[in-house]
Amino acid sequence: MAHGMASLPCLILLREFGKKIHLMSSCLFSVDTAKKDIVFLLDGSDGTRNGFPAMLDFVKRVVEKLNVGPNNDRVSVVQYSRDAEIHFYLNTYTTRQDILDTVRGLRHRGGRPLNTGAALQYVRDNAFTNSSGSRRLQGVPQMLILLNGGRSFDNVDTPASALKQQGVYVIGIGTRNSDTRELQKISYDPSYTLSVSDFTDLPSAQEQLSSVMNTVLTRATPITPPKTGKKVTDFYFPRQPAGKDIVFLLDGSDGTRTGFPAVKDFVQRVVETLSVDDNKDRVSVVQYSKEPAAQFYLNTYTTKGDILDTVRGLRHKGGRPLNTGAALQYLRDNVFTASAGSRLQEGVPQVLVLISGGRSFDSVDAPASALKELGVLTFAIGTRSADSKELQKISHDPSYALTVSEFTDLPNVQQQLQSSVEAVVIEVSPESPPVPGMLTSMAPYRPDRYMICLTYTEARKISVKFV
């Protein structure tokens, strides 16, 4: 199949953790991954004058990665301060070079105050429309990338909600002068909010943006029924996850006393992005040193406010030695259980976030394996005092082990953690009902399996067992 075509042949693969990948069905339907409509909304107010060249450079870097064409990716750029102004629409240019040339020549708008709310309403009414080149009604994913350098003077609530209702996936990128909570409110999901110190640091966020965009495409890509007339049997449908159970395991040993406030602050930051109040996400916190102690279970609190208040009031446990192995076993036996609020048997993804500041005194091998067998997705974050190989062994996958110099640097890995969790949760979530009118034979969901969709070219790069 030629490069750049809108529909790519897919393999639907079922992988059992720790085992080979088994092909369940192939060429049963096509997933349209090759096209998306992207609008960049740039803060052009007085406060961003010095950073505007870096902003333009970032837009060019992103565009260079796209497959621009009338039937592939389309791009629009809007700049705003007090009022919004569209530089070009989604259907203005059909080549990457034309877009790059235009972006290169953009001038800073200037002006104040910064009316982000009005700008969001403007792009909804003028950029994401059929006449402006939007292909929303054709099922093409719609993305808005907001580059912002300050708090909005007007209210963003209503226009942000309107964009979400229209199905626009908003990704907010802000500097230290931005209002983080405001950006989280604007973004389609709080985890889609990225932060940099200033606009010259935007290149450091490009990989995170790519990760979020891939997550969006996983969520937004429609499943197209086959046109061959073949019957479709024994396959899985991806869906947006309904929620997750997250357990934080915190190192409370003597060596982490000075860093514990930063650990609690990190937990609060992550909880802020979760959907607790509508009972999608559940949270538990366990602290350990020589022995573990559950601060609260997955079914203890049902509101985000209660969780944040409790985390804020946690006291450092202290003690030694650091028995991480015993703590992992404790979680398996006492926290990831139905009586403690775990929805494992209902197919809800189980996530463990370990924050460690040292090497374990006891062995982690058996309990780490037991959690993987249970289907728990473990992410481990360690400081320079931790054993990186041990953390990789504990993590569900070695790539899920993150490192910081010290606990005060935890904010630097927050977006990386959230993007990884989001991507994994989508993979392990139960299947959605079949497309109406399609003959299916659905296998029961098992939490130790997840679905992957690959093109034939990608599939040849891995070991695939045909069954």
pLDDT value for 425: 67
Count of CA atoms in the C-beta half-sphere (13 A) of 63? 27
Residue 142 tokens read as 């719609």
pLDDT value for 40: 96
**Can you list the residues of the chain whose pLDDT is less than 50?**
1-33, 222-241, 430-467
Q: What are phi and psi of 358, to 5 degrees?
A: -170, 170
pLDDT value for 397: 83
Query: Do you find a cis peptide bond into 113, omega within 30 degrees of 0?
Result: yes
pLDDT value for 415: 79
C-alpha span between 82 and 109 (Å, rounded): 10
pLDDT value for 242: 57
pLDDT value for 458: 41
What's the pLDDT tens digit per position in 43-93? 999 999 999 999 999 999 999 989 898 889 999 999 999 999 999 999 999
Q: In 3-state terms, what secondary structure has residue 111? A: coil
pLDDT value for 427: 56
Residue 105: alpha-carbon gap to chain centroid: 33
Q: E strands along 375-456, which residues?
A: 376-382, 401-403, 449-454
Q: What is the pTM of this model?
A: 0.47
Contacts of 9 (CB under 8 A, 6+ apart): 1, 26, 27, 30, 455, 456
C-alpha span between 289 and 422 (Å, rounded): 29
**Sequence-ordered alpha helix ranges (H) in 83-239:** 96-104, 116-126, 157-165, 180-186, 206-220
C-alpha span between 361 and 327 (Å, rounded): 11
Q: Is the distance from CB of 151 to CB of 175 less than 8 angstroms?
A: no
Q: 37-220 and 244-427 share one CATH topology? A: yes
pLDDT value for 120: 95
Tell me the Ramachandran region of residue 186: left when phi exceeds 0, alpha when psi lies from -120 to 50, beta otherwise. Answer: alpha
Please give the CATH superfamily to which domain 37-220 belongs. von Willebrand factor, type A domain (3.40.50.410)
Q: Is the distance from CB of 187 to CB of 117 less than 8 angstroms?
A: no
Please give the CATH superfamily to which domain 244-427 belongs. von Willebrand factor, type A domain (3.40.50.410)
Break the chain into its structural domains and give their ranges: 8-31+225-235+437-466, 37-220, 244-427
